[in-house]
Amino acid sequence: MNLQAICHIPKSNYAYPYKENELHIRLRTAKDDVDQVEIIHGIKYDWKNNERHVMKKILTDEFYDYYQYNIICEDSRIGYYFGLTKGEKKLYYTELGFADKFNDDFAYCYFFQYPYINKVDVHKEPSWVQEAIFYQIFVERFFNGDVKNSPPDLTPWDADPDPKSFYGGDLKGIIDKLDYLKDLGINGIYLTPIFQSPSNHKYDTVNYFEIDNYFGDKEVFGELVQRAHDRGIRIVLDAVFNHCSNLFEPFLDAVEKGRESKYWDWFFIEDYPVKMDPPNYKTFGHVAYMPKLNTANPELKEYLLSAIRYWTTEYNIDGWRLDVSDEIDHLFWRDFRRVVKEINEEAVIIGENWHNALPWLMGDQFDSVMNYQVTKLSQDFFARNEISARSFEKGLSSLLIRYPDQVNEAMLNLLDSHDTERFLYTCQGRKEKLKNAAAFLFGYIGMPCTYYGTEIGMTGNYDPGCRKGFDWNQEHWEMELYQYYKKLISIRKKEKALQYGDITFLSTDSLFVMKREYNKECIYILINQREDVADYNLPKSSFEYNYVKELLSESEWKVEQGTLRIQIPAFTAFYIKLAEK
């Protein structure tokens, strides 16, 4: 056995409480290196009644296999160790390392432990996230519903944007189009920032307690939330706490008064006078008009958390997306979570973190993050055809093992956003590639999110090209793509296996295969990213079935003797549902 590859870390993504009475234990080994992994576990204070179980291999990536066993425990004071078998070789893996023999009478000196599942430590995501289907709206570019609050010198709606273009999209425009969104089938909207700001993107906040004048006012926002809720659609707002606008009054006060300003320590200013070219203060990136906020300052922290209390309480919103969340101190986010969850335990907290976010996702800060890692993999596999189906599968496995199960269930999965080029642009306009990527997204674990207009075939390169005005002229829509999105969303909302099911990968060299299974429901997602037809022999199931249904085309096939060979045309996706006898 390759002992250097074996890994288990207590109280991490390898050992965590899924519920108050359920502990998930994982172990990593080298790929194809062991024949069996067992977990020996028991109550620490009643070790003589310990149990032994075979662990299930749940994921495989390029170098490793990952095993998991879920312990249901009324008494959560758990000790455990592992038994590994390869041929005639047997090893035991404990907190002190590896041994050929193990005396169970002295296990308490050696076993790993989860001392106690404290309720407050269980990472509990909102109960609705596994049924959530999100739609991201860049507010300024969705629809102009009230010309009276439009900025002067508007760019024509169908013109290409530049970084400073204003089109007049507003909150009333979203209200006017709620029926479109309801008909599309989404049940959650993530709005880019709506608070007072001089820019079109609003990521440079001037006042955290006011709606931007060009977007409307608090009355209109309240109406938007209420009308969305009436249609079963949740509203998630974007919070920008890493930085603000250089027109933020506390920053202007610091610029004017220097160290005499009571707001001086709200920022990271090096010296007085304050200079903007180049800035002598910390900023977002190298953008002088976005000074970085010092969230460790108690007065600033209370100001920002007061804004969160206000909008969450007064307008009954359903959660927050957090901009540049990985550059803000962890203590701030712990206090942020406490404030939000005390108001509404069901509010979702989604960080913007483009890389491994485990330190933020252990139950004390975020519920999930925007899953840009899945975006990157999807670009490589579906849009650029740079990796194989098996490589795509391995990449997904590496991502899934990073986080506890309840985090994976709540991840915001996206193909594109206001910070990426449009996925169809990456596909060089080949909508069959986008359709395959969407079929994956709506079959995958987590919350699928569609960037406004992707469903009608909008394209464009990186900012500002990805921020064009939504084309409401249906004659310009890719109607085949639009109807495909509606079908995918309808299937996702109907099939419990796609919402709640376990996930397994079974890809071949020519075909990406993903299985979702929940109780007696099983759906295979088969995606052919190649120019020729792919064959797939449907394997035996854990239950008997005598016909299958392809959910996208609604075709049904009778199964003889429990086997079925399926042919998947080039650049096509199938959702194969097994039907019990």
Q: Is 286 exposed, middle or buried (0-12, 13-18, 19+ CB in 10 A)?
A: exposed
Residue 411 · residue 446 · CB < 8 Å: yes
Q: How far apart are CA 83 and CA 222, in angstroms?
A: 58
Q: How far apart are CA 249 and CA 257, in angstroms?
A: 12
Q: Is 62 exposed, middle or buried (0-12, 13-18, 19+ CB in 10 A)?
A: exposed
Q: Which of 170, 212, 238, 352 is catalytic?
A: 352
Q: What is the residue-wise DSSP string for 475-494?
A: GGS-HHHHHHHHHHHHHHHH
Vertex 129 angle, CA 497 and 194, to 5°: 140
326 secondary structure, DSSP code:
G
Tokens coding 415: 């193909």
Tokens coding 177: 């189009």
Vertex 486 angle, CA 482 and 492, to 5°: 145
Q: How far apart are CA 253 and CA 50, in angstroms?
A: 65
Task: From 379, 478, 381, select the one nearest 421 (Cα to Cα).
Answer: 379
User: What are 503's strand-pairing partners?
Assistant: 516
Largest CA distance in the chain: 83
Residue 345 known to be catalytic: no
Residue 386 known to be catalytic: no
Task: From 152, 161, 159, 26, select the one nearest 93 (Cα to Cα).
Answer: 26
| E strands in 352-442 | 368-369, 412-414
SS3 168: coil
Q: Which of 65, 238, 323, 419 is catalytic?
A: 323
Task: From 111, 43, 124, select the one nearest 83 (Cα to Cα).
Answer: 111
Within 10 A of 433 (CB to CB), how many other CB atoms are there?
Answer: 22
Residue 64 · residue 31 · CB < 8 Å: yes
Q: Which amino acid, residue 27?
A: L
Residues 6+ apart with CB under 8 A from 118: none
Q: How far apart are CA 365 and CA 181, in angstroms?
A: 30
Q: How far apart are CA 295 and CA 242, in angstroms?
A: 8
- Inter-CA distances, 67 with 82, 367, 412, Å: 11, 24, 25
Residue 95 · residue 83 · CB < 8 Å: no
Task: Report the catalytic residues.
Answer: 323, 352
